[in-house]
Structure 1
């Protein structure tokens, strides 16, 4: 299928510049997981000028708290969580070089402006497809904050992880444009 974009991590500025809202993307490489509590800790470290548990430069953070892995599998079901809960923390991480986030739902205007400024994108993964998304994870390991359980930061190796571009570096927003299209149609 020629309308699917294949992207490898770490992401490059060139890759990001070619992405537009609505693009279907298959990600291969390393992505990191983090949710609310982990984001709070990351931003506290950044505010203190301390090193983060992983270098966010050109990386992707997936907003997920996976279920325990079944025997023989690297991870359990791993569907996206609602992104707006991370909006208070996201601009700080984008300023540090984070290139993309993955979640579900729309983002705040503050995050959209930060994505334009720091040249980053927001991908959405399909909610309700957690078991199918887990099949795209080839390896998973906790790298920080073990005490957070399912919300610990994990390093995932993924192959053809399916997402859609919801916000691009040009300020376009799939959610608002999609709603406008159907309200005016």
Structure 2
């Protein structure tokens, strides 16, 4: 298990390979469909993003409200392909990592390689368990979007698996090939 301190650097990204199990510690941000759409509109109109994404990781999640004594409620990943239309532009702005579930488009995978980034998967169905790695959560932008607002999360040993690495490897494709050969 590799331990990584956030924010992510290009060197950290290029040292990761599809299939690596990683624990992230530090600050990351949440954003789902509505927040991505709004960020894209902001960039298209020449505006500044509400969060500087350079070196950052975005977790595709809409966390549920926290219960008393907890930093966050359930925090499981959402389907990443829903953000594919917006991802290349954010990678151009310096985004280094994304966390979600499911496959990415060829366009996104090419952008990951071009910008020396990485796509991680978090385990779907383990939202309550994942929430235990989140130490604090704070809304930092688009509060009107409710659970889809952008949150700043402080995480400790947040478990993920590298799916798409900066060399163009794809864990899902590797698994399919291995299954066919096996």
TM normalised by structure 2 equals 0.99
State how far apart, in whole Å, the 2-side matches of 1:43 and 1:29 are: 26
State how far apart, in whole Å, the 1-side matches of 2:148 and 2:174 are: 32
Alignment partner of 1:104 out of 101, 104, 120:
101
CA RMSD of aligned residues (A): 0.6
Alignment partner of 1:84 out of 81, 98, 101:
81
Return the offset for 1:50. Answer: 1.1
1:63 aligns with 2:60: yes
> How many positions carry a matched residue from both structures?
182
Alignment partner of 2:166 out of 159, 169, 173:
169
Return the offset for 1:139. Answer: 0.6
Residue of structure 1 in register with 2:157 after alignment: 160
Instruction: Structure 1: give runs of 5+ residues left out of the alignment.
Output: none
Return the offset for 1:80. Answer: 0.2
Instruction: Structure 2: give runs of 5+ residues left out of the alignment.
Output: none
Residue of structure 2 in register with 1:10 after alignment: 7
Secondary structure at 2:26's aligned position in 1?
strand
1:149 aligns with 2:146: yes
Residue of structure 2 in register with 1:19 after alignment: 16
State how far apart, in whole Å, the 1-side matches of 2:114 and 2:79 are: 23
TM normalised by structure 1 equals 0.97
